Each structure stands twice: as structure tokens, then as C-alpha cells.
Amino acid sequence: MRGVFYLAWRYLTWHRFKTSVLVGAISLVLFLPSGLQLLINRTAEDMTARAIATPLLLGSRGSPVELALNSLYFSEDYPSQLDYLELDRLNETGLVDAIPLYIRYRARGHAIVGTSLDYFTFRGLEIADGRPLVELGEAVLGGAVAQELGLSVGDSVISSPETLFDLAGVYPLKMTIVGVLATSHSNDDQAIFVDLKTAWIINGLGHGHQDLNKTAAANVVLTTSDEQVVANASLVNYNEITSDNRDSFHFHGDLSDYPLTAVLPIAVDRKSATLLQGRYLDHPTLQLIEPVKVMDELLATVFAVQRYVLFAIAMVAAATAAVVVLVFMLSLRLRRGELLTMTRLGGARWAITSLIAAEIIIVLIMAATVAALLNLALVLWGDTLLNSLVLRS
Amino acid sequence: MIRIDNLRFSYPDSMFRLEIEELVIGAAERVAVIGPSGSGKTTLLNLIAGVDIAEHGSVTIDDTQISQLTDSARREYRIEQIGLVFQTFELLDYLTVLDNILLPLRIGANKQLTPEYQARAKDLAGFVGMQDKLDRHPAQLSQGERQRVAVSRALLLEPKLLLADEPTGNLDPGNKHIVLELLQSYATEHSATLVTVTHDQSFLSSFDRVLDFASVNQANSA
């Protein structure tokens, strides 16, 4: 029997390309259902875990899914905005400690999360290098962002314009990196954190420019009155906040009207949370959602879709199996001369049959091994894959 | 000794027929079988080797009546007692020279592939002048070299009977001489019977007997 397996192995290694194609096709068919299942389960676990860790979320009325995906997983689509005033109102209830979130802009593909220092405490995020946010214009990077972009403390990161051709839109802001977070194996690894006011400056609600009261700025001043100074378009606006120009940054209007994309209400106890939910039940403009319920509904849809995908994979598997059988049958035809030679030399019938069986067994073992290795890779590096493929999108 | 009595054979859906009343080939005899194409020379070798079975009559090698054996017994007998050489070499392209020589041991001979057989295969390769090409594949060899490998494969289990079907048919004159010399020297040294089908008249004098198959197959003369 060893001789037969040796011959089968020689045949397969001699016809490397054919063998590789067969092994590749079969291993993919074996891997896809289990790999997909594994990936979906991991995604579901990760998403649910984060949703469970976020009991409540306040946002404007609209899609609860969009609100949860943006606030928890930093998706690009951002929900309708609510006023900062709502955060103050939440705090005034005494039922919760509210954390602001303003997640609208991105830098080199990563979400810029405008928030307060309470967010880091709430998520249990720790600084691995540098220090927390202190001043305007500072940024703290998630561990994966720092690694991916090759940035560290002292470097800077520039916010991206929302659309390339929007000349009237927000201008990029150059932010100094003061800290890098330790890896938390969550979406926070993929985000860039800034103070809420820095996020508003990116938005254009706050800005810094040369001092119009100084004589050096006389040529840009058009009119001056007790209430305001009007300058022409040559006024220099700062696109980076430094220690020299930090004091020149200011905000116009009432801060309570400034936008947030969501508020994270941290209820002091279960009762407070229930009371709060009751208050926002019929609110005309706001919604207080339980992210875990929203994610459960979303995942139920994903699992329903998964069943269709698995059915499609089963169909592909059946087609692949048919093709593999066809390949072996055609191969037998091509090898009729070789098998006839073995018969004429006196090769035992069982040996010739076993030769074909051995080839099939070896191909199946190789395919199963490749599929198992792919599954193992998914288990080992699934998080990285999920972060880059799923959670960032 | 090979003895054929009252043999009748035909292929299904074919006009071809083979009829031999009596044919005896002595032990250690070296016989050349000649005759026109289609006269049944290759069929004779197949019947002696037990690849084909006669409808009537018997083929006996020493004391073994080939037609009476079961299929598996015939295969076993063939692989261990008969060395076969073909016109088109019949080497496996995915095996090296050494593995092609050792093939009979891997497809059913009741013998283990021992280091002794490995050594014998290498000796045989040396015997046919292929000792430095053991790792090559058939596609990397000349026609003459391929036939020498095929001869080595036939001699691996030291058969008492060698059946060669036009072994020089695809070779140049130099290699024809080498291959026939190899077969004949083996037969002489091991007192083996050699039956060679050939169209080549120039080597007939080196055989003990020349069998003109046109007169042996009585179906032709009928």
C-alpha cells in the first residue's frame, strides 16, 4: 500500500498545477462555510460585546442603526445631529453622567472622535505612550491607527475634507499627537480622539486668526465698530493650533447650540436608566436607544442573509465536487495508457484501483489541511481582519 | 519451457483470428518471431503473458497452465515470472529512472521494496549504462535510453521468461544493437527464455530460432 501512495504522491507532485488547482478549489469549498460562520460569529460577538458595554445612547430621531453604528463602531455615515444643550439637560436630571460624542470627520480614513476625557474612563482605555488630551488641537491615537499610519507622539495628523471639491466646506486642521492608546481590541483602536472643541474647530464653528487689534493687521481690517471688526478675505486663519496661536482660537455663538452626533448617558443605576428611557419614550426630536437591542435586530438580519450565503456556498460546493469528479474522470481517460501498462506488467487490480483512490485521498487531505490552516489563521488573526474589513466600514 | 496446444483466439468485433495447433519453445531458448503486421505476433506474446486468454486450447509455462489461473493469479505470475519489454517503452513520465525500474514492486509484486532491491535496481541501471541518470524523468532521456530503462524494469525480479514486443522498433541502429545485446546477454547468463517479436532481419542470426508467424498462425493459411 505504501508503494501505491508513493506513486500517487509522485503523480500529484509531477502535475503540480493541476494538483494545486484541485486542492485550492476543494479547500476553498471546505473553508468558506466554516470561515464565514467563524467570521460572522466573531463579528457578532465583538459588536454585541460593545453594544452590551454601552447601555444607552441618545441621539436625534432617525435610524437607530445609523446612530449605533456611528457612535459605537465609528461608521462613516453619521446620524442627524443634536444640540449640546441636550447633554446639559441630561446631566441636570441627576440620573446620568453624560459623555458627548461628535463623530463626523475623518483623518486618513480613520474616524475623528470628538469627546471628553470621561470617554476614556468609561471605555477603560489606557495611554500606552504620551499623555491624555489637555489642550485644543491635540489628538490621541488608537493603537492600530498609530501602527498603521506609522505615527507616534510628537507627530501630527491632518483632518480630511469631507468632499474634495467643497471649497466652501471645512478646512483641514493639523493636530498634534500627544498620546497613543494601548490596544483594546475594539473599535477604539481604529479611532483618533480629540477634545470636543477641537472637533468643533474642524467643523469651522471655532477658529483662530491673526489679532485684528494689532497694527500688523491694519491692512486687512475693513471696518471697526464697538461691536465688531470686519476684515477682508486676506485675513490669515490658522490651520494648526500651536502654543503661540492657541489663545486666538475662539467660538462664535452659543455653545449650547453646537452639534453632537450622540450622547452616551451613563446611568447611575438600573432604576435611573429606566426612568430616563421613560422620559425620552415619546420625545419628538430625540431617541434614547439601547444599542444591544438595535444590534440584535441588525444581527438577526445578518444571520438571515448568512443562511442564503451558506445555501449559495453549498451550491458552489456541489458544482465544485462535480467538476472535481469530472477532472478525475478525464484524468483517468488520459491515463488509460499508463493504467494499461500497469495491467500488462501484472499490476494487481487492487493496486491500480488504490492508486486512483490514494490520489483522491491525498488531494482531500491536502485540501482539508489548507482549509484547517485558513480557519486557524482566521482564529489567530480574525480580529485584525475584522478591524480592517468589517468594523472600519 | 512454453507449450501451446490447440490454441484459438479472436478479438470481439474483429476479423482477426489466431489458431496454433502446437508450438513449443524450449527453456532458455532465444526465439525471434517475425511475420507481417497483423499476423498475430503481439497477440501471441499477450497470450503467453496471460494478458489475453484463449477461447480454446492451453498455454503452459513450465508446469503452470496460464489459462487456468484466476485473473489475480495470472497478474501475480506475470509480474514475478515474466519480464515484458514494449516497443513504446511504456515508462511513467512522472517517475524517475530509478522509480520506473522499481515500478513492479510498487504495483503488486509479493515482494517488499527492500534496500536489496534498491541496490539491484541501481545495478541494473549500471548494467544498461544509466547509472548516472537515475534521477531523470523519461522526458529527459533519448529513445534508446528509455528502452534501456524499460529493459531494466523487465529484469528487476529476475524473470525466467522475457517477452519483448518489437523492442528495437523505435530505435536507431546503435541502440538497437545495445538493447538486443542486453536482452540476449541476460537470457544467456540467467538461462532465461527470450521471445522477441521483431521486424529487423539484421539481428536474426543472433537468435537460436526464428519463428515465421505467417506459418505458425494456421488461421492465416486457412
pLDDT value of position B153: 95
CB A389 within 8 A of CB A50: no
Q: Give the whole-angstrom CA distance, residue A243 versus residue A369.
A: 59
Average pLDDT on A91-102 reads 93
Query: Who has greater pLDDT, A303 or A263?
Result: A263
Query: All 3 cell numbers of residue A93?
Result: 436630571
Edge-to-edge strand order for the sheet containing A286-289? A96-101, A262-267, A57-60, A286-289
**DSSP letter (8 states) at residue A109:** T
Which residue from B minimizes the CA distance to A351?
A: B107
**What sign for the dihedral angle of Cα A298, A304, A310, A311?**
negative
CA dihedral B207, B212, B217, B222 (to 10 degrees): -160
Residue A287 has pLDDT above 90, yes or no: yes
Q: Does residue B99 lie within any of the structural domains?
A: yes
Together in a domain, A281 and A180: yes
Q: Give the whole-angstrom CA distance, residue B184 versus residue B204.
A: 12
Together in a domain, A35 and A160: no
Domain containing A121 equals 56-208+249-289
Residues of chain A with C-beta less than 8 angstroms from the C-beta of B69: none
Q: What confidence tier does A163 reach under pLDDT thresholds 50, 70, 90?
A: low
Closest in A7, A15, A344 to B106, CB measured: A7
DSSP string for residues in A154-180: T-EEEPPPSSTT-TTSPPP-EEEEEEE
Domain containing B29 equals 2-212
Together in a domain, A385 and A254: no
Q: Is B92 on the interface with A (CB under 8 A)?
A: yes
Q: Does residue A238 lie within any of the structural domains?
A: no
> Would the CB atoms of B51 and A355 count as touching at under 8 Å?
no
pLDDT value of position A122: 95
pLDDT value of position A387: 61
| Substitution target from A2, A345, A355 for chain B, most B beta carbons within 10 A | A345
Phi, psi of B81, deg, nearest 5 = -110, -20
Which residue from A minimizes the CA distance to B49?
A: A344
State CA A364 to chain mean position distance: 36
Together in a domain, A318 and A278: no
Residue A374 has pLDDT above 90, yes or no: yes
pLDDT value of position B222: 46
Q: Does residue A380 lie within any of the structural domains?
A: yes
Q: Does residue B217 lie within any of the structural domains?
A: no
Residue at which a domain ends, from A289, A314, A347: A289
Which residue from B minimizes the CA distance to A15?
A: B94
Task: State pLDDT tens for residues A67-82.
Answer: 999 999 999 889 999 9
pLDDT value of position A43: 79
Domain count, chain A: 2
Q: What confidence tier does B199 reach under pLDDT thresholds 50, 70, 90?
A: confident
Rounded to 10°, the helix A16-52/A291-334 angle is 170
pLDDT value of position A264: 95
Q: Provide ipTM, 2 decimals.
A: 0.88
Average pLDDT on B97-103 reads 96
Together in a domain, A312 and A373: yes
CB A38 within 8 A of CB A379: yes
Q: To the nearest whole number, what is the mean pLDDT of chain B? A: 91
Nearest C-alpha of chain B: how many angstroms from A11?
6
Q: Single out the residue of A45, A199, A225 nearest to residue A107, CA to CA.
A: A199
Q: Is B84 on the interface with A (CB under 8 A)?
A: yes
Residue A40 has pLDDT above 90, yes or no: no
Residue A393 has pLDDT above 50, yes or no: no
Gyration radius from chain A CA atoms:
31
> Would the CB atoms of A10 and B95 count as touching at under 8 Å?
yes
Together in a domain, A313 and A190: no
Together in a domain, A29 and A154: no
Task: State pLDDT tens for residues A171-223.
Answer: 789 999 999 999 998 899 999 999 999 999 998 888 888 777 776 666 777 77
Q: Does residue A228 lie within any of the structural domains?
A: no
CB B65 within 8 A of CB B59: yes
Please list, in sequence order, all residues whose beta carbon lies within 8 angstroms of the beta carbon of residue A83, skipping any fewer than 6 positions away. Answer: A256, A257, A258, A259, A260
Average pLDDT on A47-64 reads 92
Nearest C-alpha of chain A: how many angstroms from B98?
13
Q: Is B71 on the interface with A (CB under 8 A)?
A: yes
Which residues of A have a CB under 8 Å from any CB of B?
3-4, 6-7, 10-11, 13-15, 337-338, 341-352, 355
Nearest C-alpha of chain A: how many angstroms from B163?
11
Q: How far is CA A300 from CA A47, A304, A306, in A?
A: 13, 6, 10
Q: Does residue B143 lie within any of the structural domains?
A: yes
pLDDT value of position A19: 94
Q: How far is CA A360 from CA A182, A226, A324, A332, A348, in A?
A: 49, 91, 10, 12, 19
Q: Does residue B220 lie within any of the structural domains?
A: no
Task: State pLDDT tens for residues B7-24.
Answer: 999 988 888 889 999 999
Q: Single out the residue of A6, A111, A291, A282 nearest to residue B96, CA to CA.
A: A6
Q: Is B99 on the interface with A (CB under 8 A)?
A: yes
Give the lowest-confidence range in A117-131, B96-110, B133-147.
Answer: B96-110
> Would the CB atoms of B79 and A352 count as touching at under 8 Å?
no
Q: Does residue A330 lie within any of the structural domains?
A: yes
Q: Single out the residue of A16, A35, A116 nearest to residue A370, CA to CA.
A: A35
DSSP string for residues in A257-298: GSEESEEEEEESSHHHHHHHHHHTTT-SSEEEE-HHHHHHHH
Query: All 3 cell numbers of residue A165?
Result: 471639491
Q: How many CB atoms lie within 10 A of CB B121?
A: 24
Together in a domain, A120 and A171: yes
Query: All 3 cell numbers of residue A16?
Result: 503540480
> Would the CB atoms of A347 and B90 count as touching at under 8 Å?
no
Q: Supply the CATH number for residue B57's domain.
A: 3.40.50.300
Task: State pLDDT tens for residues B66-87.
Answer: 989 999 999 999 999 999 999 8
Residue at which a domain ends, from A268, A289, A310: A289
**Contacts from A42-45 at CB under 8 Å and sequence distance 24+?**
A42/A382, A42/A383, A42/A386, A43/A302, A43/A386, A43/A390, A43/A391, A44/A299, A44/A302, A44/A303
Q: Does residue A232 lie within any of the structural domains?
A: no
| Full-model pTM | 0.68
Percentage with pLDDT > 90 across chain B? 71
Query: Who has greater pLDDT, A3 or A165?
Result: A3
Nearest C-alpha of chain A: how many angstroms from B25?
21
Residue A234 has pLDDT above 90, yes or no: no
Length of chain A (residues) = 393
pLDDT value of position A380: 86
CB B161 within 8 A of CB B2: yes
Residue at which a domain ends, from A259, A289, A319: A289
Residues of chain B with C-beta less than 8 angstroms from the C-beta of A7: 92, 95, 103, 106-107
Query: All 3 cell numbers of residue A115?
Result: 469627546
Let me know if A264 is exposed, middle or buried by CB neighbors in 10 A (0-12, 13-18, 19+): buried
Residue A291 has pLDDT above 90, yes or no: yes
Together in a domain, A180 and A309: no
Together in a domain, A203 and A336: no
Q: Does residue B127 lie within any of the structural domains?
A: yes
Q: Single out the residue of A39, A20, A18 nearest to residue A28, CA to CA.
A: A20
> Would the CB atoms of A344 and B90 count as touching at under 8 Å?
yes
Q: Does residue B41 lie within any of the structural domains?
A: yes
Q: Does residue B221 lie within any of the structural domains?
A: no
Domain count, chain B: 1
Q: Give the whole-angstrom CA distance, residue B116 versus residue B138.
A: 24
Together in a domain, A133 and A27: no
| Cα angle A27-A28-A31, degrees, rounded to a multiple of 5 | 85
Query: Who has greater pLDDT, A278 or A387?
Result: A278
Closest in A14, A337, A345 to B104, CB measured: A345
